[in-house]
Amino acid sequence: MGFTDRHLLGIEHLSPLAITEILDLADSYVALNRAPSKHADALRGLTQVNMFFENSTRTQASFELAGKRLGADVMNMSMQTSSIKKGETLIDTAMTLNAMRPDLLVVRHPHAGSVALLAQKVTCAVLNAGDGRHEHPTQALLDALTIRRRKGRLHRLSIAICGDIAHSRVARSNIMLLGKMENRVRLVGPPTLMPSGVADLGVEVYDDMREGLRDVDVVMMLRLQKERMDGGFIPSEREFFHRYGLDHEKLAHAKEDAIVMHPAPMNRGVEIDGDLADDINRSVIQEQVEMGVAVRMAAMDLLARNARAAAREGVMA
Ligand code: ASP
C-alpha cells in the first residue's frame, strides 16, 4: 500500500512503499522549484492553516511556500498572540479553526501526542510539524530525500545520528524511517543524552565519536536542545564540542565521501564546527532546506488527493 492516510502524524505508521511514494513525488517538485515558474495547481481552491505553538523559522516558511507554490490559500496563525494566551485550549482553538473549513492544518506543538489528539477532533487533513520530543515526520522525509539524491539509494547505508538524541524528535523520526528502509543506524553521544529504551530501537549505540563515525556514509548532527534540558546533561559546551562536536578531524573517520547533515538551527562551535557546516564539499545542510519545500509540497498534495478519494467513496457508499 502506498500513502493512503488522511493525516501525516508521524513516520511510525508509514510503510516503506508510502515513504517511497512521497519521496518520488517530492523529486518532481524539486524540479518544479528549480524552474523559473514555480506554480502548480495541486492545492488550488484549498485552504491551508499553519498553527505553530513553538518557534519555527525554516519549517513554517517551508510549509507556507509549499502551499503557495501549489496554489493554496495559506494563513499563518500567530499563536503567540492568539486566544491560547487567554487560556483557550488547543482543542478549542482547533475546533474554531475547523469551523472555518480549512483543508490542511499544519501544527507544531510542544507536547508529544497533541497533534494526533487534535487530528481526531477536526475534519480536515492534519500534518505534524513537530510535537514535543515525539515526531517530526517531514524533517525525516526531507532528510531521506537528501540522502537518496546524494547517495543514489536509501537502503543499506550506514548512518550515524549524533549528539542530543534524548530530546530530539528529529532523531526519533529518522531512526524509524531509516530503519524501515533497511539502513544501519548508529546513535553516537554521551549516555546522558541517550533516550531510555534505546536498546529496543534496533540501533547500535556509541559514546565515542571516532568509533561511532567509522566508515559511515552519512553523519547526521543534532542541535543540543537546551530548552528541553533541566539540569546537568553535559559538563560544559566547550567540553561537549571537544568530545562530540563534529569537525574535520572526527569526520575523517567516516567514509571519504560521507555527507554531513544538520536539521538546524545550529549551535556553531557546540555540536558542529562552523567551517565544516559551510563546507560545500561535505555539508548538505542547505540542500536539506531545499528538499524540505519539495517534501512538504508532496505530502500536502498526496493528503489532498486522499481527501478527494475519501469524499468520492463517501458519495458512492
Ligand atoms: N528544527 C528541528 C525541530 O523542530 C530541530 C531543532 O529544533 O533542533 O525539531
133 lines ligand 1 (CB under 6 A): no
For residue 81, pLDDT beyond 80? no
Q: Is 181 left (phi over 0), alpha (psi -120 to 50) or beta?
A: alpha
- Cα–Cα distance for residue pair 59/263, rounded to 1 Å: 10
For residue 33, pLDDT beyond 80? yes
Q: What number does the ligand 1 atom closest to the CA of 225 have?
A: 8
Q: What number does the ligand 1 atom closest to the CA of 223 have?
A: 8
The percentage of the chain sitting over the pLDDT mark of 90, rounded to a whole number, equals 84
169 lines ligand 1 (CB under 6 A): yes
- Torsional sign, CA 165, 168, 169, 174: negative
- Cα–Cα distance for residue pair 283/288, rounded to 1 Å: 10
- β-bridge partners, 185: 159
Q: How many angstroms separate the alpha carbon of residue 70 from the centre of ligand 1?
A: 25
Tell me the catalytic residues.
58-59, 86, 108, 136
Among all chains, which residue has been given the C-alpha cell 539540569? 231
- What is residue 77's predicted lDDT score, i.e. its pLDDT? 86
Cis check: omega of the bond before 265, within 30 degrees of 0: yes
Q: How many angstroms separate the alpha carbon of residue 263 from the centre of ligand 1?
A: 6
DSSP symbol at 283: B
SS (H, E, C) 98-161: HHCCCCEEEEEECCCCHHHHHHHHCCCEEEEEEECCCECHHHHHHHHHHHHHHHCCCCCCEEEE
- Cα–Cα distance for residue pair 136/134, rounded to 1 Å: 7
Q: What is the pLDDT of residues 218-248, one digit of tens each?
A: 999 999 987 777 767 777 899 999 999 999 9
- Cα–Cα distance for residue pair 35/23, rounded to 1 Å: 19
Mean pLDDT, residues 58-76 taken together: 97
Q: How many angstroms separate the alpha carbon of residue 317 from the centre of ligand 1?
A: 42
130 lines ligand 1 (CB under 6 A): yes
The percentage of the chain sitting over the pLDDT mark of 70, rounded to a whole number, equals 96
Q: Ligand 1 pocket check: which of 223, 227, 268 to mutate, most ligand atoms within 8 Å of Cβ?
A: 223
Mean pLDDT, residues 173-184 taken together: 98
Q: What number does the ligand 1 atom closest to the CA of 59 have?
A: 1
- Cα–Cα distance for residue pair 217/233, rounded to 1 Å: 28
For residue 178 the three cell numbers come to: 531509516
Q: How many angstroms separate the alpha carbon of residue 252 from the centre of ligand 1?
A: 26
CB 136 within 8 A of CB 169: yes
- Cα–Cα distance for residue pair 108/166, rounded to 1 Å: 19
- What is residue 314's predicted lDDT score, i.e. its pLDDT? 83
212 lines ligand 1 (CB under 6 A): no
Take atom 8 of ligand 1 and give the residue whose Cα is closest: 223
Mean pLDDT over the full length of the chain: 94
